[in-house]
Structure 1
Amino acid sequence: MSAPAPAEFLYGVDSSVADDSRFYEPPRVVRFRITKKTAKRIYYVRRERGPGEIETGYVNRQQIEADGEIYNHGAGGWWAPDFHLYLNPPELEQPAKPDLAVLRAEMAAAHPDRGGTDAEFIAARQRYEKAKEATA
Protein backbone atom coordinates (compact mmCIF):
# COMPACT_ATOMS: atom_id res chain seq x y z
CA MET A 1 0.00 0.00 0.00
CA SER A 2 1.55 3.33 -1.05
CA ALA A 3 1.46 6.48 1.03
CA PRO A 4 -0.80 9.27 -0.23
CA ALA A 5 0.92 12.06 -2.13
CA PRO A 6 1.65 15.11 0.03
CA ALA A 7 -0.70 18.02 -0.44
CA GLU A 8 0.74 20.83 -2.50
CA PHE A 9 0.10 24.48 -1.76
CA LEU A 10 0.45 27.97 -3.11
CA TYR A 11 1.18 30.64 -0.52
CA GLY A 12 -0.11 34.17 -0.01
CA VAL A 13 0.14 36.86 2.64
CA ASP A 14 -2.82 38.06 4.72
CA SER A 15 -1.97 41.55 5.90
CA SER A 16 -5.40 42.36 7.46
CA VAL A 17 -5.44 46.10 6.96
CA ALA A 18 -7.81 47.91 9.33
CA ASP A 19 -8.61 51.57 9.85
CA ASP A 20 -8.49 51.14 13.61
CA SER A 21 -5.05 50.28 15.01
CA ARG A 22 -6.67 48.50 17.98
CA PHE A 23 -7.49 45.62 15.62
CA TYR A 24 -4.07 45.37 13.97
CA GLU A 25 -2.76 41.89 13.34
CA PRO A 26 0.72 41.28 11.94
CA PRO A 27 0.93 39.81 8.43
CA ARG A 28 0.81 36.02 8.22
CA VAL A 29 1.39 33.41 5.53
CA VAL A 30 -1.76 31.70 4.20
CA ARG A 31 -1.74 28.33 2.39
CA PHE A 32 -3.97 27.63 -0.60
CA ARG A 33 -4.38 23.93 -1.42
CA ILE A 34 -3.71 23.04 -5.06
CA THR A 35 -6.55 20.98 -6.51
CA LYS A 36 -5.43 20.49 -10.10
CA LYS A 37 -2.49 21.20 -12.42
CA THR A 38 -2.76 21.41 -16.19
CA ALA A 39 -0.13 22.38 -18.73
CA LYS A 40 -1.25 26.04 -18.57
CA ARG A 41 -2.86 26.54 -15.17
CA ILE A 42 -2.66 25.68 -11.48
CA TYR A 43 -6.07 25.56 -9.78
CA TYR A 44 -6.32 26.13 -6.03
CA VAL A 45 -8.94 26.51 -3.28
CA ARG A 46 -9.49 30.22 -2.62
CA ARG A 47 -11.90 29.63 0.26
CA GLU A 48 -14.30 27.06 1.63
CA ARG A 49 -17.82 28.42 1.83
CA GLY A 50 -19.39 25.50 3.63
CA PRO A 51 -19.48 21.71 3.69
CA GLY A 52 -18.55 20.59 0.19
CA GLU A 53 -18.68 24.12 -1.24
CA ILE A 54 -15.40 25.64 -2.34
CA GLU A 55 -14.42 28.66 -4.37
CA THR A 56 -11.52 27.99 -6.71
CA GLY A 57 -9.01 30.24 -8.41
CA TYR A 58 -6.24 29.65 -10.91
CA VAL A 59 -2.91 31.11 -12.02
CA ASN A 60 -0.66 30.80 -15.06
CA ARG A 61 1.48 27.73 -14.40
CA GLN A 62 4.41 28.65 -16.67
CA GLN A 63 4.76 32.11 -15.14
CA ILE A 64 4.62 31.07 -11.47
CA GLU A 65 6.98 28.14 -12.04
CA ALA A 66 9.45 30.40 -13.89
CA ASP A 67 9.33 33.33 -11.43
CA GLY A 68 8.39 31.59 -8.16
CA GLU A 69 5.60 34.13 -7.64
CA ILE A 70 2.75 35.76 -9.52
CA TYR A 71 0.31 38.63 -9.15
CA ASN A 72 -3.18 37.18 -9.46
CA HIS A 73 -5.43 39.95 -10.78
CA GLY A 74 -8.42 37.60 -10.67
CA ALA A 75 -8.24 37.49 -6.86
CA GLY A 76 -10.70 40.32 -6.34
CA GLY A 77 -8.38 43.06 -5.11
CA TRP A 78 -4.95 43.91 -3.74
CA TRP A 79 -6.14 43.18 -0.20
CA ALA A 80 -6.97 39.51 -0.95
CA PRO A 81 -4.42 37.04 0.47
CA ASP A 82 -4.20 35.34 -2.92
CA PHE A 83 -3.48 38.54 -4.90
CA HIS A 84 0.27 37.82 -4.72
CA LEU A 85 0.96 34.08 -4.72
CA TYR A 86 4.22 32.23 -4.15
CA LEU A 87 5.39 28.67 -4.85
CA ASN A 88 7.24 28.58 -1.51
CA PRO A 89 6.27 30.19 1.79
CA PRO A 90 7.54 33.80 1.78
CA GLU A 91 9.74 35.11 4.58
CA LEU A 92 7.89 37.83 6.47
CA GLU A 93 9.91 40.54 8.11
CA GLN A 94 8.34 41.34 11.44
CA PRO A 95 9.32 44.69 12.87
CA ALA A 96 11.60 44.31 15.86
CA LYS A 97 10.10 45.27 19.18
CA PRO A 98 11.64 48.48 20.47
CA ASP A 99 14.08 48.10 23.34
CA LEU A 100 12.65 50.33 26.06
CA ALA A 101 15.87 50.25 28.10
CA VAL A 102 17.87 51.62 25.17
CA LEU A 103 15.26 54.31 24.47
CA ARG A 104 15.18 55.27 28.15
CA ALA A 105 18.99 55.59 28.16
CA GLU A 106 18.87 57.74 25.01
CA MET A 107 16.23 59.94 26.64
CA ALA A 108 18.37 60.35 29.75
CA ALA A 109 21.47 61.18 27.67
CA ALA A 110 19.50 63.83 25.72
CA HIS A 111 18.32 65.59 28.91
CA PRO A 112 19.48 69.22 29.17
CA ASP A 113 21.02 68.56 32.60
CA ARG A 114 23.33 66.02 30.91
CA GLY A 115 24.39 68.21 28.00
CA GLY A 116 21.51 67.65 25.59
CA THR A 117 19.15 70.24 24.18
CA ASP A 118 15.46 70.71 24.84
CA ALA A 119 14.62 69.62 21.27
CA GLU A 120 16.75 66.45 21.53
CA PHE A 121 15.15 65.52 24.84
CA ILE A 122 11.60 66.13 23.56
CA ALA A 123 12.27 63.99 20.47
CA ALA A 124 13.83 61.18 22.57
CA ARG A 125 10.91 61.26 25.02
CA GLN A 126 8.40 61.07 22.15
CA ARG A 127 10.19 57.99 20.73
CA TYR A 128 10.19 56.39 24.17
CA GLU A 129 6.51 57.13 24.85
CA LYS A 130 5.46 55.86 21.41
CA ALA A 131 7.43 52.62 21.89
CA LYS A 132 6.00 52.20 25.41
CA GLU A 133 2.43 52.51 24.05
CA ALA A 134 3.19 50.03 21.25
CA THR A 135 4.41 47.37 23.68
CA ALA A 136 1.51 47.80 26.11
Structure 2
Amino acid sequence: MTTPARTEYVWGIDSTVDDDSTRYRPPHAVAFPVVKKTPKRVYYEYRGNTRFVDRQRLEADGQVHRLSGGWWEADCTVYLTEPAVYRHTPPAPPSLAELKAAMADAHPDRGGTDEAFIAARARYERARTTTPAPAAG
Protein backbone atom coordinates (compact mmCIF):
# COMPACT_ATOMS: atom_id res chain seq x y z
CA MET A 1 0.00 0.00 0.00
CA THR A 2 1.38 3.41 -0.95
CA THR A 3 0.94 6.49 1.17
CA PRO A 4 -0.35 9.60 -0.54
CA ALA A 5 2.06 12.48 -1.03
CA ARG A 6 1.84 15.17 1.61
CA THR A 7 0.32 18.36 0.23
CA GLU A 8 2.06 21.63 1.05
CA TYR A 9 0.19 24.91 1.34
CA VAL A 10 0.78 28.62 1.35
CA TRP A 11 -1.84 30.80 2.97
CA GLY A 12 -3.84 33.96 2.44
CA ILE A 13 -6.59 35.87 4.21
CA ASP A 14 -10.04 36.09 2.65
CA SER A 15 -11.79 39.24 3.82
CA THR A 16 -14.38 39.43 1.07
CA VAL A 17 -17.50 41.40 1.92
CA ASP A 18 -20.56 40.99 -0.27
CA ASP A 19 -23.25 43.62 -0.64
CA ASP A 20 -25.69 41.05 0.71
CA SER A 21 -25.04 40.94 4.45
CA THR A 22 -26.81 37.59 4.77
CA ARG A 23 -23.73 35.98 3.19
CA TYR A 24 -21.15 37.76 5.36
CA ARG A 25 -18.18 35.71 6.55
CA PRO A 26 -15.63 37.23 8.88
CA PRO A 27 -12.03 37.30 7.63
CA HIS A 28 -10.51 33.82 7.66
CA ALA A 29 -7.33 32.02 6.56
CA VAL A 30 -7.41 30.24 3.21
CA ALA A 31 -4.98 27.49 2.12
CA PHE A 32 -3.58 27.40 -1.40
CA PRO A 33 -1.98 24.10 -2.49
CA VAL A 34 1.63 24.37 -3.63
CA VAL A 35 1.98 22.81 -7.08
CA LYS A 36 5.70 23.38 -7.68
CA LYS A 37 8.80 24.78 -6.00
CA THR A 38 11.93 26.06 -7.72
CA PRO A 39 14.94 27.74 -6.13
CA LYS A 40 13.44 31.15 -6.96
CA ARG A 41 9.66 30.67 -6.90
CA VAL A 42 6.80 28.89 -5.15
CA TYR A 43 3.90 28.10 -7.48
CA TYR A 44 0.44 27.62 -6.00
CA GLU A 45 -3.14 27.14 -7.17
CA TYR A 46 -5.68 29.96 -6.72
CA ARG A 47 -9.19 29.65 -8.19
CA GLY A 48 -8.05 27.37 -10.99
CA ASN A 49 -5.02 29.50 -11.90
CA THR A 50 -1.38 28.86 -11.09
CA ARG A 51 0.33 31.84 -9.46
CA PHE A 52 3.76 32.29 -7.96
CA VAL A 53 5.67 34.28 -5.35
CA ASP A 54 9.35 34.83 -4.61
CA ARG A 55 10.48 31.78 -2.62
CA GLN A 56 13.47 33.45 -0.94
CA ARG A 57 11.39 36.39 0.35
CA LEU A 58 8.59 34.05 1.47
CA GLU A 59 10.96 31.84 3.43
CA ALA A 60 12.96 34.76 4.87
CA ASP A 61 10.05 37.04 5.87
CA GLY A 62 7.27 34.49 6.29
CA GLN A 63 5.06 36.48 3.90
CA VAL A 64 5.15 38.13 0.49
CA HIS A 65 2.90 40.93 -0.74
CA ARG A 66 2.00 40.33 -4.38
CA LEU A 67 2.38 43.61 -6.27
CA SER A 68 0.37 42.28 -9.20
CA GLY A 69 -2.54 41.25 -6.96
CA GLY A 70 -5.59 43.28 -6.09
CA TRP A 71 -6.32 44.16 -2.46
CA TRP A 72 -9.57 42.19 -2.66
CA GLU A 73 -7.86 38.92 -3.56
CA ALA A 74 -7.25 36.42 -0.79
CA ASP A 75 -3.67 35.95 -2.02
CA CYS A 76 -2.81 39.65 -2.05
CA THR A 77 -0.39 38.71 0.73
CA VAL A 78 0.85 35.11 0.73
CA TYR A 79 1.95 33.61 4.05
CA LEU A 80 4.30 30.69 4.65
CA THR A 81 2.27 29.45 7.63
CA GLU A 82 -1.38 29.84 8.52
CA PRO A 83 -1.89 33.45 9.66
CA ALA A 84 -3.75 34.23 12.86
CA VAL A 85 -6.87 36.20 12.01
CA TYR A 86 -8.08 38.34 14.86
CA ARG A 87 -11.66 39.40 15.19
CA HIS A 88 -12.73 42.49 17.01
CA THR A 89 -14.63 41.64 20.15
CA PRO A 90 -16.29 44.46 22.01
CA PRO A 91 -15.04 45.05 25.54
CA ALA A 92 -17.11 43.52 28.31
CA PRO A 93 -19.41 46.04 29.97
CA PRO A 94 -18.35 47.13 33.45
CA SER A 95 -19.84 45.19 36.34
CA LEU A 96 -22.31 46.73 38.75
CA ALA A 97 -19.59 46.80 41.43
CA GLU A 98 -17.26 48.74 39.10
CA LEU A 99 -20.03 51.19 38.21
CA LYS A 100 -20.92 51.65 41.90
CA ALA A 101 -17.26 52.35 42.75
CA ALA A 102 -17.01 54.86 39.88
CA MET A 103 -20.19 56.54 41.12
CA ALA A 104 -18.76 56.81 44.66
CA ASP A 105 -15.46 58.22 43.32
CA ALA A 106 -17.34 60.85 41.29
CA HIS A 107 -19.32 62.07 44.34
CA PRO A 108 -18.69 65.74 45.22
CA ASP A 109 -17.85 64.76 48.83
CA ARG A 110 -14.92 62.75 47.43
CA GLY A 111 -13.62 65.49 45.14
CA GLY A 112 -15.83 64.84 42.11
CA THR A 113 -18.20 67.24 40.41
CA ASP A 114 -21.98 67.29 40.37
CA GLU A 115 -22.00 66.59 36.61
CA ALA A 116 -19.61 63.64 36.93
CA PHE A 117 -21.66 62.14 39.78
CA ILE A 118 -24.96 62.54 37.89
CA ALA A 119 -23.47 60.87 34.78
CA ALA A 120 -21.96 58.01 36.85
CA ARG A 121 -25.25 57.46 38.68
CA ALA A 122 -27.15 57.37 35.38
CA ARG A 123 -24.75 54.70 34.04
CA TYR A 124 -25.14 52.68 37.24
CA GLU A 125 -28.95 52.91 37.22
CA ARG A 126 -29.14 52.01 33.53
CA ALA A 127 -26.95 48.93 34.09
CA ARG A 128 -28.84 47.95 37.24
CA THR A 129 -32.19 47.93 35.44
CA THR A 130 -30.88 45.98 32.42
CA THR A 131 -28.76 43.41 34.29
CA PRO A 132 -30.69 40.21 35.09
CA ALA A 133 -30.86 39.23 38.75
CA PRO A 134 -28.68 36.27 39.76
CA ALA A 135 -30.49 32.93 39.95
CA ALA A 136 -31.53 31.82 43.40
CA GLY A 137 -29.62 28.75 44.49
Q: What is the TM-score normalised by the length of structure 2?
A: 0.64
Structure 1, unpaired ranges of 5+? 48-53, 129-136
Distance 1:82 1:91 in 2: 15
Report the Cα distance in structure 2 between the residues aligned to 1:97 and 1:2, rounded to whole angstroms.
50
Q: 1:70 aligns with which of 55, 58, 64?
A: 64
Query: Cα distance, 1:6 vs. partner?
Result: 0.9
2-structure distance, mates of 1:24, 1:109: 40
CA distance in structure 2 between the partners assigned to 1:68 and 1:119 by the alignment: 50
Q: CA deviation at 1:46?
A: 1.1
2:7 corresponds in structure 1 to 7
Q: Percent of pairs identical after alignment?
A: 39
Larger strand percent: 1
Distance change (3 Å), C-alpha of 1:39 and 1:94: same
In structure 2, stretches of 5+ residues that fail to align are 108-115, 128-137
Tell me which residue corresponds to 2:80: 87
Q: Does 1:59 align with 2:53?
A: yes
- CA distance in 2 between partners of 1:25 and 1:16 (Å): 8
Mean Cα deviation higher: 66-75 or 27-36: 66-75
Residue 110 of structure 1: CA displacement?
A: 6.3
Instruction: Compute the TM-score of the two structures, normalised by the length of structure 1.
Output: 0.65
Q: CA deviation at 1:119?
A: 5.0
| Aligned AA (1:70) | V
Whole-Å separation in 1 of the counterparts to 2:96 and 2:19: 30
- The amino acid that maps onto 1:39 is P
May I ask how many residue pairs the two structures share in their alignment?
116
Work out the CA distance in 2 between the residues paired with 1:67 and 1:118: 54
Deviations 1:54-95 (A, max 9, x none): 2121101111011111101122x1121101111100112222
